Structure 1
Amino acid sequence: MRKRFLVGFIVLASASLVYRLLDTPVEKLRQDATLQRVQDFMTRHGSERPVAFVGDSLVENASFSPAICGRPVFNAGYAGAIASGVLQLVKEFDRIKFSPGIVVISVGVNDSLVVDRRPFAESYQEIVQRAGALGAKVFVVSLAPIAGSGVLANAIDRSRFADIDRVIRQTAHDRSIPLIDVGTLRTQASPQVEDGIHLSADGYAAWTGTIESTINRQCP
């Protein structure tokens, strides 16, 4: 009984923490830090048009190749990101004249933990539109699988998770842009760590491998 109570408390605390991160200036601070890294990148690389990854902690913690399609890679992921936050970041890219050659969008799992003020579909479709307006080739990444249980996996609204994944896939279809399907990750060990959401070393190997191989087959 005590163990079940403790697990339940951890789940509620984790969900509450995620909500506070998304509903306070913390996300704005993370966006600002990301934009500072963008400006540092622009100073170092001049007019080079990189492959820019935008999204949440799955993106932030990924070890992508230093170059894809002959372009340097810039990782603009940050923990706790939701669709409306990524949209704001992409708007800022335009403001500071950051012009990636490729934008890879991987966001949505945090939107299945909390309900944003703006529907996911509206924010997501605008992200795709604005990324394309930067002159970039856009790729979208489906949601990675989550475990059957885990501290964070248990807090996921699975119905909303499925709806978000459908929005991502439908947006790719409607706009005729490449979908990188990571809905199934083939690994020898569990693709997730104990929280049921974040990826293990094997999970990341499959996830990044699928993403990079898909982009490399369709270099602009």
Structure 2
Amino acid sequence: MSTSFKTFPIWAFFSLLTNGILMLAVILLIWQQQKLTAFFGIATSPESISLNNSPQIATSDLGRRHQLTYQEWVDILKQEAKVAADQRTSHLTILAGDSLSLWFPPELLPEGKNWLNQGISGETSNGLLKRLKIFDRTQPEVIFVMIGINDLIRGVSNEEILDNQRQIINYLRKTHPTAQIVVQSILPHAAEETTWKGRDKLLAVTNSRIRELNQRLQSISTKKDVKFLDLYPLFTDKQGNLRREFTTDGLHLSPEGYMVWRSALQIYSEIELKSQPQRPSGK
């Protein structure tokens, strides 16, 4: 018993503690939100963020962003990053990832920060790695990264995904040495309740595999001295699948799902990022 305790990594203890506090706080916030909704008669509907509608984004002239080619998409993100760099935007926080990040409603993003959304629908870890240079000139305080689900859907191996994640972390730490780098876990899917058009390919990826990948990703993040935000348990039901009320199709998030994510970002920023600033590093 004593031997096991001595070999238990101290970082793992603090990680469990932080995520335990985070989970409790998010649950309390959701409960409070539900009480307010019931009292005031305010309701949110998954239909307000639909896969058939234009993505909810901050830039007014990009309503048809989902119809663009990948390169056109990259060019637009490059322009937005250039504006942020030229204006030396203060308190800049970057969301880097795929459609889950892209469709984060701007009005639900935590206040007190200037958000630069660098998400592309269908993005993979290799694709993100190749376009990180787009926002090289920006001076972000925090960079939140979520990537990997599209790799899994496309049949990419765990090892290749993790290797790309390592390279992403290395690049961001070298290019933005004063920024907090936060790797976010891959979210679960809704299993048999999934209605997404790529259902068969998604179901070929088990949520147990996603959990295993997240565990390895957390270990890599710790070794690389970057933060890891474990969102996975906040979104799961008793079966370990994505909760029905948090998704529109079993893969993408509903407004309720984004509220959970928002709460997690807000609380994590308060209890983890402010209390433990990341040390500059060029490794």
Question: CA RMSD, aligned part only?
Answer: 2.7
Contact 1:27 1:80 in 2 (8 A): no
Task: Find the counterpart in structure 1 of residue 35 from structure 2.
Answer: none
Could you tell me which runs of 5 or more consecutive residues in structure 2 were left unpaired when the two chains were aligned.
1-67, 238-242, 278-283
1:98 is paired with a residue whose SS is coil
Could you tell me which runs of 5 or more consecutive residues in structure 1 were left unpaired when the two chains were aligned.
1-24
One-letter amino acid matched to 1:100: P
Q: For 1:203 and 1:30, how far apart are their aligned partners in 2?
A: 25
Q: For 1:208 and 1:153, how far apart are their aligned partners in 2?
A: 27
Asked if 1:158 corresponds to 2:209, the answer is no
1:165 is paired with a residue whose SS is helix
Q: How many residues matched? A: 191
Identity of aligned residues (%): 19
Structure with greater Cα Rg? 2
Q: For 1:148 and 1:71, how far apart are their aligned partners in 2?
A: 35
1:73-103 deviations in Å (ceiling 9; x for gaps): 2111111111111112213323xx2221211
TM-score with structure 1 setting the length: 0.75
1:34-67 deviations in Å (ceiling 9; x for gaps): 1111112233x32635111100111011135566
Q: For 1:147 and 1:67, how far apart are their aligned partners in 2?
A: 26
Change (3 A) 1:193 1:37: same
Task: Find the counterpart in structure 2 of residue 129 from structure 1.
Answer: 170
Task: Find the counterpart in structure 2 of residue 15 from structure 1.
Answer: none
Asked if 1:181 corresponds to 2:230, the answer is yes
Q: For 1:162 and 1:170, how far apart are their aligned partners in 2?
A: 13
Contact 1:56 1:77 in 2 (8 A): yes
Change (3 A) 1:30 1:204: same
TM-score with structure 2 setting the length: 0.60
Asked if 1:193 corresponds to 2:248, the answer is yes
Identify which of 122, 139, 142 aligns with 1:99. Answer: 139
Task: Find the counterpart in structure 2 of residue 28 from structure 1.
Answer: 71
